[in-house]
Chain A
Amino acid sequence: EDQVTQSPEALRLQEGESSSLNCSYTVSGLRGLFWYRQDPGKGPEFLFTLYSAGEEKEKERLKATLTKKESFLHITAPKPEDSATYLCAVQAFEDDKIIFGKGTRLHILP
């Protein structure tokens, strides 16, 4: 069964303190791995799509990387406005659906 496990469940950082969020996945054949940001009461906001092991993508203070079994979302020198839940999701080749993890709740203290 395809599944996504994210760790840690929650993370509190001081402003400027860099860290990484982990997403471990099992999928029959990976079509894409997605990172989304979700603010309370809002819809998932697209951040990155990764398609193959070794791929990396960056956007402002965020960088996403992908291996055959996991993905990392690195956050460099975070600011309080980066506080949100970060969701990882995978899509198998034969599927329309994407399968989400439970997310990591990130809180950046000023």
Chain B
Amino acid sequence: EPEVTQTPSHQVTQMGQEVILRCVPISNHLYFYWYRQILGQKVEFLVSFYNNEISEKSEIFDDQFSVERPDGSNFTLKIRSTKLEDSAMYFCASSEQIRGGAAIWDTQYFGPGTRLTVL
């Protein structure tokens, strides 16, 4: 069964350093997302990406964050200068929007996550 994969599974970095989290979405999916989950809290939306551009972003997704689809399979999240409060699990997700008349069927499938620890 196709699945979303993410690397690395765990990333430790020093405050102020840049990190890049990588994801390989499900191959026939066209919509890509990043979410994060701080320990003990809700899963929160960061950004969605479609047709090589950001489709929607949350208030969390400030200028320190960027996303890119560098090739036909990878989808990355870059944090330019990490802060202590960026420590969290980061989940990539992908979906295939299926349109039927006015209806849109859309389920987001999540990867296993990258645990980011900022020291």
Contacts and interface: CB of A to CB of B under 8 A. Distances in A.
A87 B45 contact: no
B56 A31 contact: no
A89 B95 CA distance: 15
Interface of B: 4, 31, 33, 41-45, 48, 50, 55-56, 58, 89, 91, 103-113, 115
Interface stretch (A18-26, A40-48, A62-70, A71-79): A40-48
Given A49-B105, A99-B45, 11 more contacts: A31-B104, A31-B106, A41-B113, A42-B112, A45-B110, A46-B108, A51-B105, A91-B106, A97-B33, A100-B44, A102-B41
B30 to A, nearest CB: 12
B110 A43 contact: yes
A86 interface: no
A84 interface: no
Interface residues of A, number: 24
15 contacts: A34-B108, A36-B110, A41-B115, A42-B112, A43-B89, A43-B113, A44-B91, A44-B110, A96-B33, A96-B55, A96-B56, A97-B56, A97-B58, A98-B108, A102-B42
A95 interface: yes
Contacts, number: 57
Given A96-B48, A100-B43, A32 B113 contact: no
Contacts of A44: 43, 91, 110
A94 to B, nearest CB: 9
Contact of A43 (B91, B103, B107): B91
B42 A46 contact: no
Contacts of A34: 107-108
